[in-house]
């Protein structure tokens, strides 16, 4: 069902409410440019979305062969328009990408905001196999504490009705940067650069929370299981929430994203 959710938002995904992805992506690009060679033979994005990471990297690196995987055909269509005809696409679950590409074939692998949907350590093992010795892995992930104030402090009834915290606990989203560090080093990667991007965000209306949930992918994470039941449940809750919680705005919450560059040892 994740593919269906992202197909629905693919045309407006680059709207990026409050620039959360744009700001964090700039840090990731700086990490890659600071450490990688200026020319790479091949690079793979495990969750390419609309292709923004490759589009930004083009200003700094020459990548001979760009490959983008995504489970959503709609997102891949947007990426092809942005990146041109020489961009290779794979439409599959990220855990299956190693079936499409040979081992030790990539100089750089991008793994951005995937750990909310896919087993973290399994995905790290796939990236390890696809990377050449000495190859680089760029990681971005929210933590379970990202925007927790919304459902924990301001709207606790939303947590009771929608089971937000229970859903997060079932995901592979790391609880904190230390948990991610352990996963990365267990697989064998060397941590080269890490940054914890935390930013206070002000939601001034229900529309802000709605747009953030869609643009950030939180909605896709929540709807990953039992899509239609949750969709109906959420539509009903949103209709009531517009009236009940309107006087409580603005809501202040803190984003929490870990941005990391690691390397497979030679």
Phi then psi for residue 40, to 5 deg, are -120, 140
Question: Model-level pTM?
Answer: 0.89
For residue 246, the model assigns a pLDDT of 53
Helix axes 2-9, 73-83, angle to 10 degrees: 40
**Dihedral sign from CA coordinates of 76, 193, 178, 123:** positive
**Alpha-carbon span 197 to 216, nearest angstrom:** 15
**Between 57 and 252, the higher pLDDT residue:** 57
What is the rounded average pLDDT of the residues 190-208? 91
* Mean pLDDT, range 109-124, rounded to an integer: 94
Paired tokens of 4: 């269906």
State residue 122 phi and psi, 5-degree precision.
-60, -40
pLDDT at 255 over 60: yes
CATH classification for the domain delimited by 2-146+172-204+256-263, as one of 1.10.8.80, 3.40.50.2300, 3.40.50.150, 3.30.465.10:
3.40.50.150
Which pLDDT value is given to residue 37? 95
């Amino acid at each position: 069902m994740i593919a269906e959710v992202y197909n629905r938002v693919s045309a407006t995904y680059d709207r990026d409410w409050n620039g959360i992805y744009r700001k964090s992506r700039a840090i990731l690009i700086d990490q890659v440019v600071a450490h990688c060679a200026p020319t790479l033979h091949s690079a793979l994005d495990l969750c390419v979305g609309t292709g923004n990471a490759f589009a930004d990297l083009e200003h700094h690196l020459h990548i001979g062969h760009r490959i983008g995987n995504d489970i959503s055909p709609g997102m891949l269509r947007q990426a092809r328009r942005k990146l041109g005809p020489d961009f290779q696409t794979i439409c599959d679950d990220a855990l299956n990408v190693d079936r499409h590409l040979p081992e030790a074939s990539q100089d750089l692998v991008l793994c951005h905001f995937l750990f909310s949907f896919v087993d973290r350590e399994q995905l790290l093992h796939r990236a390890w196999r696809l990377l050449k010795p000495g190859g680089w892995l760029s990681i971005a992930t929210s933590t379970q504490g990202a925007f927790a104030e919304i459902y924990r402090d301001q709207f606790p009834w939303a947590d009771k009705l929608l089971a937000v915290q229970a859903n997060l606990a079932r995901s592979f989203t790391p609880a904190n940067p230390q948990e991610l560090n352990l996963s990365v080093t267990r697989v064998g990667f060397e941590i080269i650069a890490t940054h914890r991007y935390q930013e206070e965000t002000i939601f001034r209306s229900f529309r802000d929370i709605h747009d953030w949930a869609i643009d950030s992918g939180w909605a896709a994470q929540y709807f990953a299981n039992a899509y239609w039941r949750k969709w109906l449940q959420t539509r009903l809750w949103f209709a009531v929430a517009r009236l009940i919680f309107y006087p409580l705005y603005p809501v202040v919450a803190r984003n929490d994203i870990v941005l990391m560059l690691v390397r497979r040892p030679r």
